[in-house]
Amino acid sequence: MKAEFLEKSINLLLQQNIKISINNKFVKTGKLILFAIKDFYLIFTLHTQHVKKIVEIPYPYDFYMKDNKVILSYLVNKFSANITEVENYIKLLSPKKPNKFFNTCAEISIVEE
């Protein structure tokens, strides 16, 4: 059910110029041509100045729509269902150099021209 809602939310962004950012830091931009969910990744095909780029983003723990933006949550408390003990274990086990999505939110929004 949630996967269908995520797919419908992102399908609204197809053929639009989008911006992907993590913690308000710009990551990628381009026209969203294709979107697919494969294994544990969201796969975006963006058209950027005569070049097609494929962007793979891990499947989020939670997501929601807000002001024509899709917010992807990778926050540890969403993964742990707000159980403090589990949260603490996850933070203790995290690597020295965590993935850029660790304990953050990503935002996919339409670029206004």
Confidence category of residue 50, pLDDT binned at 50, 70, 90:
confident
Give the burial class of 87: count Cβ atoms within 10 A of its Cβ; 0-12 exposed, 13-18 middle, 19 or more buried: middle
Q: Which residues, 6 or more positions from 3, have their beta carbon under 8 angstroms from its beta carbon?
A: 37
| Percent of the chain whose predicted confidence (pLDDT) is above 70 | 96
pLDDT at residue 54 is higher than 70: yes
In the prediction, which pLDDT does 53 show?
93
> Residue 51 — left, alpha, or beta (φ > 0 → left; ψ -120 to 50 → alpha)?
beta
Single pTM value for the model: 0.83
* pLDDT tens, position by position, 66-97: 888 999 998 887 777 777 887 777 777 766 77
C-beta separation of 20 from 30 below 8 A: no
Residue 9, SS3 per DSSP: helix
Our CA dihedral for 92, 96, 99, 103, rounded to 10 degrees, sits at 40
In the prediction, which pLDDT does 33 show?
95
Angle at 89 between CA 83 and CA 94, to 5 degrees: 125
Average of per-residue pLDDT across 6-14:
90
